Amino acid sequence: MTRSLKRIAAILCLLLPLAGCVSFTLAKGGESIDLGEGVTVRPPSDWNRLSLGKYEYWTLDGLRLQNILFVKGAEDGEAIVYRRRTTEDEEKDTFPKYRKGMTLLEIRELLESTWARQEFHRVRVTRFGPASLGGSSGFEIAFAYDTKDGLEMRGLAAGAVVGGKLYLAIYSGTRIHFFERGEKDFRAIIESYRLAPGQSARARLPAPGASVGRPATIAARR
């Protein structure tokens, strides 16, 4: 019984931000956006932004259609979470974690096993090569997977380890239409990615009046 209560709590934690308790703000196209933790990017067009501190989601049309997850410096021993972990996983300590000193091969493995634990099914990595992110040498990974409901998804992720912390930008969207719709923007965002770790996060809270509410298509004027 306690297990199901914990599950309900975990689901609530996931749903609350989506229900509007944490609101989306607008990341204006063409402007330099400070994501906090020393990360800035310049999106070519408007995106909806959902900041959860170190983790941040962006979307054009809705999180389930396409999204970018920014992980702004995972530390040694930290799990790379898309969603909040269930308490069960935490108790048993079986969740894959980032470790300082991991090679790029191990980071790929970390991502794949994290995805497997978060109901990304049939994950296929199609390309995995060296690339730079924010001026640091890192990697780029192209992948595909199916959602729990069997929807086919495509993904593209870039990452680098800077100062022992893992920085990631993971883009994914439905294979039909929505991945392609944001792909060019994502590449431009990665190109514009600047990283100055150690800088204080100035703009972690959304500016007043910047809220656009739910992740509708308002921001997607392209």
Q: Does 127 interact with other proteins (rule: CB under 8 A)? A: yes
**Smallest distance, other proteins to C-beta of residue 1, A:** 7
Contact 27, 49 (CB under 8 A): yes
Token pair listed for 87: 């308490």
Residues in CB range of 61: below 8 A, 6 or more apart:
178, 181, 215, 217, 220
Contact window for other proteins (CB under 8 A) among 59-67, 127-135, 176-184, 198-206? 127-135
Please name the residue that has the structure tokens 């609350």. 16
* Dihedral pair phi/psi, residue 44, rounded to 5°: -70, -30
> According to CB under 8 A, which one of 30, 77, 150, 198 is a site residue for other proteins?
150
Q: Does 121 interact with other proteins (rule: CB under 8 A)? A: yes
Q: Does 52 interact with other proteins (rule: CB under 8 A)? A: no
Q: Does 145 interact with other proteins (rule: CB under 8 A)? A: yes
Which residue from 158, 192, 203 is spatially nearest to 68, judged by alpha carbons? Answer: 158
> According to CB under 8 A, which one of 10, 18, 63, 116 is a site residue for other proteins?
116
Determine the Cα–Cα distance for residues 73 and 189; give it in Å rounded to an integer. Answer: 17
Q: State the residues that interact with other proteins by CB under 8 A.
A: 1, 92, 94-96, 99, 101, 103-106, 108, 113, 116-117, 119, 121-122, 125-130, 139, 145-151
